[in-house]
Amino acid sequence: MKTTNFLKLPAIVLLLAVGACSKSNNGSTVDASISTDDAANIMANSVSSGSGGMAGASVDVTANAQLTFNANPGCGGTKTYSFNRQSPQGASVTYSYSFNYTYTLNCVNNVPDNVSGNATSTGSYDGPSLTSTDSGTLTFNVGGLAQSSTAYSVNGEYKRTGSFTQKTGNMRKGSSNVDITVTSLSIPKGGSTIASGSATFTLSGTSNNGSFSFNGTITFTGNNQANLVVNGTAYVVNLVNGNCTRS
């Protein structure tokens, strides 16, 4: 199965965060700007479906890739999709994002094999502890589209830039840049959860108290959970609500 780098996983919308990561101590601080726990909070909600993050967006990507594959626009042919994703009415965490996708059917020996694409997104997020506005771009590749396959395979990279305001704690304001590269994300057909896969990320930016820079990994373990490591500190993330705890 042919796969290519996937530049931005929707969510493949990665947002700045809501929930709170539980702290076993006061939180390791990389610099005077935000703590490791703050960074974990941002990344956890960037991937959780409950905050409009990557877990939910990846399902959108695979669904439209399947539609493109089934429509068979011809080798190299494209299909475009536009839609909005909003939080449910009355939700404590609200978000509104607009997406524009372009999908391309790729063939091997003139036989449809996989779908690649790119997308842009803009939107805003408002949670109990933080608000943000951001824009993003992504590129992706989806395999496993043949009828005989039982799961989709997604590779890609997502980049987002935005501004944020904390509502709690130090009440910081600033800007951030998120870059997530996803490898071999497996999503069972007919399901809405990530079964397995991994990602690496960088998170950087500035606040009214200085600059910050973090990096780490995300390992998707199934059952709506993922293991998150931020600058060497490990967390367990709930992919539904974005809550995370130190492991």
pLDDT tens per residue, range 147-158: 999 999 999 998
Q: How many CB atoms lie within 10 A of CB 148?
A: 5
pLDDT of amino acid 227: 97
% residues pLDDT > 90 (the chain): 45
pLDDT tens per residue, range 181-223: 999 999 999 887 899 999 999 999 998 888 999 999 999 999 9
Residue 222 φ then ψ, to 5°: 85, 175
Using pLDDT thresholds of 50, 70 and 90, give the confidence band for residue 146. Answer: very high
Which residue in 205, 188, 197, 150 sits closest to 9, CA to CA?
Answer: 197
- Interhelix angle 54-71/36-47, nearest 10 degrees: 30
pLDDT tens per residue, range 60-73: 899 999 999 999 99
pLDDT tens per residue, range 87-134: 888 888 788 888 899 999 999 999 999 999 999 988 888 877 778 888
pLDDT of amino acid 49: 76
pLDDT tens per residue, range 30-47: 344 778 998 898 888 778
Does residue 141 or residue 54 have the better pLDDT?
Answer: 141
pLDDT of amino acid 121: 86
How many angstroms separate the CA atoms of 247 and 235, rounded? 5
> If you ran DSSP here, which 8-state letter would residue 90 be given?
T
Asked if pLDDT for residue 17 goes beyond 60, the answer is: no
Of 21-25, 139-143, 149-153, the poorest mean pLDDT is in 21-25
How many angstroms separate the CA atoms of 98 and 135, rounded? 10
pLDDT of amino acid 243: 86
How many angstroms separate the CA atoms of 240 and 132, rounded? 19
Which residue in 14, 19, 42, 12 sits closest to 212, CA to CA?
Answer: 42
How many angstroms separate the CA atoms of 101 and 120, rounded? 7
Dihedral angle sign, alpha carbons of residues 12, 1, 66, 116: positive
pLDDT of amino acid 52: 62
SS3 content of the chain, % helix, strand, coil (to 5): 15, 55, 35
Which residue in 7, 26, 58, 38 sits closest to 195, CA to CA?
Answer: 58
Amino acid at 245: T
Domain boundaries, the chain: 21-246
